[in-house]
C-alpha cells in the first residue's frame, strides 16, 4: 500500500484529503479459536460465530512524523449492548515474519493502535490507545514496562464517524514505527456481537506499507 504524504491534517475521516487517496479492501477472518488465550474463552466462543466484519477499506497517508490510517467498514444492523465497536492497526517489530492472525505472540509482540467507540461516561478516556499485543487479547498498555519505549508525543489518536451504516475511523500514530515495520495488520471488533480482546476479525496477511 502506497502511503502518500499530505500537508494538511486529515485526522477527520470526512476530510476531503482522503478522497484523493486510493483505498484497498482488506479481507478479514476470525482470530482462530484455537489461538484464544485460555480455555474459558475457547469454550465460550467455540460454537458462537465471531469476527463478523468480513472486510475493511484501508487507506493511509503520512503527515510529518505521523502515519494516518483510515478504516471504513459496514456497521452491524444490530444494536450494541455491553460492548461497543472497535478497530485497530498493528505493526510487528522489524524482522519479525510472523502471521498477523494472532495479533502478535509472546515471542513476537506487535504494537497495536486501538480505537473503540465510547459511551458518554467514557469521554474522558483517550480515543485511541497504544498497546503491546502478545496474542489474542493479551494486550498491555505500552509504557507499563521498562524498555517499552513509549513516547508521549507518539501516542496514537483517533477520530471516528458513523454515517449511513458505515464506520469511518482515522487512527494516527508514530510514522517511524510503521516505517520500521514496513507492514501492518488490521483488526475490527463488532460490539453488537460482544467482540473484544481476541474475539474479533483480523487480516490474515500483512498489508505492506511503502513509507517514504
Partner 1 sequence: MSQDIAGTAVAGQVAMVFDLNKCMGCQTCSIACKVLWTREEGEEHQWWMTVNTQPGQGTPKDWEHMGGGRKKDGSPVTGHQPTRAEFGGGWEFNYDEVFYGGKGRSVHLKPTDKGDGTTRWGMNWDEDQGAGEYPNAYYFYLPRLCNHCTHPVCASACPTGAMYKRPQDGAVLRDEDLCQGSRFCMEACPYKKIYFNEARNVAQHCIMCFPRLEEGVAPACARQCPGRLTFVGMLSDPEGPIHKLVNEWEVALPLHPEYGTTPNVFYVPPLAPYRLNEDMSIDYETPRIPPEYLESLFGPKVHSALATMQGELDRVRAGGTSEILDTLIVYNWLDLFGPFTTDPATLDRTPDKVAVSLTAKRTEPAGG
Contacts with partner 1, residue ranges (CB under 8 A): 36-41, 43-44, 81-82, 119, 121-122, 124-125, 131, 136-141, 144, 194, 196-198
Please say which residue, 21 or 41, places its beta carbon nearer to partner 1: 41
Which of these, 174, 185, 207, 194, lies nearest to 135 by C-alpha position? Answer: 185
Smallest distance, Å, CB 124 to partner 1? 7
Nearer to partner 1, 8 or 39 (CB): 39
CA 97 to chain centre: 19
Closer residue to partner 1 in complex, CB, 38/163: 38
Task: Determine the Cα–Cα distance for residues 127 and 158; give it in Å rounded to an integer.
Answer: 6
- Compute the least distance from the CB of residue 199 to partner 1, in Å: 8
Q: How far is the CB of 40 from partner 1 (least distance, A)?
A: 4
Least Cβ distance, residue 38 to partner 1 (angstroms): 6
Task: Indicate left, alpha or beta for 51 from its phi (over 0: left) and psi (-120 to 50: alpha).
Answer: left
Give the whole-angstrom CA distance, residue 29 versus residue 64. Answer: 33
Please identify, using beta-carbon distances, which residue of 199 and 209 lies nearer to partner 1. Answer: 199
Amino acid at each position: 500500500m502506497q502511503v502518500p504524504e499530505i500537508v494538511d491534517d486529515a485526522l477527520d475521516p470526512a476530510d476531503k484529503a482522503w478522497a484523493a487517496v486510493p483505498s484497498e479492501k482488506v479481507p478479514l477472518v476470525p482470530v482462530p479459536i484455537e489461538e484464544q488465550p485460555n480455555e474459558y474463552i475457547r469454550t465460550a466462543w467455540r460454537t458462537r460465530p465471531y469476527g463478523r466484519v468480513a472486510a475493511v477499506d484501508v487507506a493511509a497517508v503520512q503527515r510529518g512524523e505521523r502515519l494516518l490510517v483510515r478504516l471504513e467498514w459496514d456497521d452491524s444492523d444490530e444494536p450494541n449492548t455491553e460492548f461497543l465497536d472497535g478497530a485497530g492497526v498493528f505493526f510487528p517489530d522489524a524482522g519479525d515474519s510472523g502471521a498477523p492472525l494472532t495479533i502478535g505472540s509472546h515471542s513476537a509482540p506487535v504494537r497495536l493502535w486501538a480505537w473503540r467507540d465510547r459511551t458518554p461516561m467514557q469521554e474522558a478516556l483517550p480515543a485511541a490507545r497504544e498497546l503491546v499485543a502478545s496474542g489474542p487479547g493479551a494486550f498491555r498498555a505500552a509504557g507499563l514496562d521498562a524498555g517499552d519505549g513509549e513516547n508521549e508525543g507518539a501516542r496514537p489518536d483517533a477520530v471516528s464517524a458513523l454515517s449511513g451504516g458505515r464506520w469511518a475511523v482515522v487512527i494516527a500514530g508514530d510514522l517511524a514505527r510503521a516505517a520500521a515495520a514496513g507492514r501492518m495488520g488490521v483488526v475490527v471488533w463488532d460490539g453488537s456481537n460482544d467482540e473484544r480482546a481476541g474475539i474479533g476479525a483480523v487480516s490474515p496477511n500483512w498489508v505492506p506499507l511503502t513509507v517514504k
